[in-house]
Structure formats: C-alpha cells, structure tokens
Structure 1
Amino acid sequence: MTDAVEFDSTTFRRVLGHYPTGVCVVTAVDQDGPTGMVVGSFTSVSLDPPLVAFFPAKSSSSWPRIEQAGRFCVNVLASDQQLLCRQFSAKGADKFAGVAHRVSFLGSPILDGVVAWIDCTLEAVHEAGDHYIVLGRVKALEVDRPDKPLLFFQGAYGEFAHLP
C-alpha cells in the first residue's frame, strides 16, 4: 500500500479551490512607510491566549516588511471591496495610493470600510513548505461594519448569502 495518491499542483489547487476563503489585507508600517498584502489564509487559533494566524508565501515581497515591523493589522474586507483587494494584490505598486485609513492602537493601518480589524503583535513564524505560518497575538479588535465579507471561491470573488 502506498502512502499517498499521486497528484500535481494543478489538481491540488483545483480541489482546494472548492473551499471558500475570506479575504483580508494584512497591513503594517516599517521604516519605509505603510505596507500590505492580501491573504486568503487567515484563521483564529486560540482564545487563551488570543492568537490568529495567516500564511504568506515565501516569495512574498510584502511579508518581510511586515515581519520586520513586528506588528500587523488584519483587515477583513467587505464584499464591495474587490477593487481594494486587487490594488493590494498588485506587485510593485503603491498599494496605499488613494486608500483611506486610520492608525490602529499598535500603529498599523486600519483600512476604511472593512468589516472588521484585528491588531496584533508578531508571536511566532514557522516554515511550512513554500509558505510561512505566522502567529499573531491579538491586542485589539473590532467590527467596523457588520456587512457581508468578501469571499474567494473557485478562482472568483463573491459574497456570503444566508440560507432561508
């Protein structure tokens, strides 16, 4: 008996694309100013202590700046913030151009119009294949706009709908 069925990365992405994810922008400020990156891999980890996690790619150019800052804010995007998501996904662009925001308790950007935000200090970073597992200790959090979150499912954006 073999340990696993063989598959390629295309099959892996296709199958896991059937699991919807929320869309967040992780923001921070380092010596060069504000930075941010889109993540679809955010999760709560622990209530005591309050910990969250996200999983940046090792190839990310934004992650090293966030790591250096030692703190970050997770901004949960609303369903009408798809353009903001695309702006923060762009490589090499000024991601904050024209983006209204305020400063969190820890000094990270909280983007205007987000559903919720979670302000964290960097707790730990672990290697995991071609990504990192980043743990953040939650220091402050709030719901800004109780609205539908932006979701990513099978390669497209959408929103949540309650069942009747």
Structure 2
Amino acid sequence: MTIVTEHPRTIDPQQVREVMSKVPTGVTVIAGGPGLTGERAAMIVGSFVFISVEPCLVGFFVGHGSSSWPKLKEATVLGISTLSASQTQFCRKLGKKEVDRFAEHFWNEGPCGAPLVAGSVTAMECQIENVTSVGDHDFVLARVLDLSAGSAADPLVFQNHEFSGLLRH
C-alpha cells in the first residue's frame, strides 16, 4: 500500500465546483427561530444527510460565509424540509439575499414549534447536537425530535446548475 504524504497539485476551486455540479443533490430548507437573536431565518442546503436511526440523527453542511447560519444556530429547534419538484420558484426566492423569506404563507409550524415548508416531501424538527468546522464549511449534527413524510411529489434535485425532479424509468 502506498501512502501519499504530499499533495501533488493545487486544485482549482472553479474546477471543483464544475465537477461536483455533476453530482445530483436534494434541495433542503433549514429554518428556525426566533432564537436568541429574536429573528427567524431560513437557508437552503444541498448537503443534507441521514446519519443514524438509533439515535435518530441527521446532518448538513453550511458555508462559513452564510448570513443565515449565525441566526439559525441559536434557534432552540430547527425545521428541516425537503422541497418537492413543484417548489422550484419558492426555492429560488429563498436563495436570494435581503428577502423576507417568511413574507408569504408557505410555512407551517411543526409540533415542536419550528417553521416547516408547507407541501414539502419530508419535514422534521431537530436540535443541534454538535457543530464541527470542516474546511470552509461547518458540519452540523442534529438530533431528530419529530419527522413526517409530506407530499408524495418527487423531490427537487439540483444538478448541472439546474433544478429538476427525479427522472424515473
């Protein structure tokens, strides 16, 4: 077995983004508040992952430059919603800076009090267990308090810089 101790070259960040755009990702909304800041916040992540059944744990990554994350990490409970393919326009709105993400009635309150996207494919409420800095992101480990399957619609997928639904054969 060969152990590589040196990095052979520097990898161009733009090349990384282009190559990784080929990997399809689900589109998930993380929402919470008001927390200690007194504000509600919401953001989109493409890195949501199921981790464990017992205990029920999920995780996601947040870029260090996120303006929503400082508000969200203070929330008592986070709402995590997987968007459906029919929610593309709502997703585009949430992706814009300086927009009131709660102005329209696309939200429900979950049993634990977290904001959840109405009509989403999945909905869960979680508490943050741990946050670890990894590269230029934070990895957030969260314990699931409540979850449900929502809409039977196909989930929204992001691949090749575009939104789509799943292609079923």
Q: TM-score range by the shorter chain?
A: over 0.9
Alignment correspondent of 1:15 = 19
Runs of 5+ unmatched residues, structure 1: none
What is the distance in 2 between the residues matched to 1:104 and 1:33? Answer: 17
Alignment correspondent of 2:82 = 76
* Aligned residue runs from structure 1 range 1-164, under 5 A: 2-31=6-35, 32-163=38-169
| Matched-pair contact (CA < 8 Å) for 2:33–2:76 | no
- SS of equivalent residue, structure 2 residue 47: coil
* Aligned-residue offset at 1:6: 3.3
| Matched-pair contact (CA < 8 Å) for 2:39–2:71 | no
What is the distance in 2 between the residues matched to 1:157 and 1:101? Answer: 21
* Identity in percent: 31
- SS of equivalent residue, structure 2 residue 70: helix
What is the distance in 1 between the residues matched to 2:126 and 2:51? Answer: 13
| RMSD over equivalenced CA pairs, Å | 1.4
Runs of 5+ unmatched residues, structure 2: none
- SS of equivalent residue, structure 2 residue 62: coil
Q: Which TM-score applies when normalising by structure 2?
A: 0.91
1:121-141 CA distances to partner (integer Å, 9 max, x unpaired)? 111100011110001100110
| Matched-pair contact (CA < 8 Å) for 1:99–1:111 | no
What is the distance in 2 between the residues matched to 1:84 and 1:37? Answer: 12
What is the distance in 2 between the residues matched to 1:29 and 1:74? Answer: 12
Question: How many residues of Structure 1 are paired with residues of Structure 2 in the alignment?
Answer: 163
